[in-house]
Amino acid sequence: MRTTRQFRTFLILTGVVALVFLGRGWIRWRGEAPERAAWASIQDDLGAQSARIDSLKKVLAVMDDQVADSKREIASAGERLGHWGRQAVGGKLPSPEHRQYLREIDRHNEAVAEHNSELAAMQRVYAEYSTLVDTHNALVDSANVLQRRAVQEGIQLSAP
């Protein structure tokens, strides 16, 4: 079985065209590598930030409970002080009650100091949380821009 010269030419030209298309596809794929690498990096960063944000949310919830407990402790100490104040006659308490009153003042002051310390710690964690959320949102915006550009240019990115 002999092939004609035209058929051989057709096969060669078809092979050349196929190689050209494959070469162009490979060159385009290599040209899109920076976008794919940036996308993968953004996805990794978003995952890590999401985990850190969730962790800080839990820490803030625990701290919020602690602050609420310390508020109740302050209110309770304030009520006890009010009780001793109502017991005073002419602004004075007998010596044993006065010593108890002074201890209640110390407890109240300790509760206030602890509450202020917890609030300061909570504010530091919240500042970190807020900064991280802002950074995360900026990264999400960057990911959205990259994804829109990829769609417009026909770049295939991995699924997030």
Residue 150 pLDDT = 82
Residue 50 pLDDT = 94
Model pLDDT for residues 140-153, shown as the tens digit of each residue: 999 888 888 888 87
Domain assignments of the chain as residue spans, ordered by start: 46-153
pLDDT tens string, the chain, 160 residues long: the values are: 577 889 889 989 999 899 988 988 787 777 777 787 888 888 899 999 999 999 999 999 999 999 999 999 999 988 888 887 788 777 777 778 888 888 888 989 999 999 999 999 999 999 999 999 999 999 999 988 888 888 887 777 777 6
Residue 160 pLDDT = 64
Residues 157, 151: Cα–Cα separation, whole Å: 9
Residues 47, 28: Cα–Cα separation, whole Å: 29
**In whole angstroms, how far apart are CA 55 and each of 11, 12, 117, 153?**
63, 62, 21, 37
How big is the chain by its Cα radius of gyration, in Å? 36
- Tell me, rounded to whole angstroms, the distance of Cα 14 from its chain centroid: 54
The CATH topology of domain 46-153 is Helix Hairpins (1.10.287)
User: Helix (H, G, I), strand (E, B), or coil: what is residue 51?
Assistant: helix
**In whole angstroms, how far apart are CA 129 and each of 10, 43, 50, 64, 91?**
66, 20, 11, 14, 48
Write the CB contacts of 114 (distance below 8 Å, at least 6 apart in sequence).
70, 73
Residue 93 pLDDT = 74
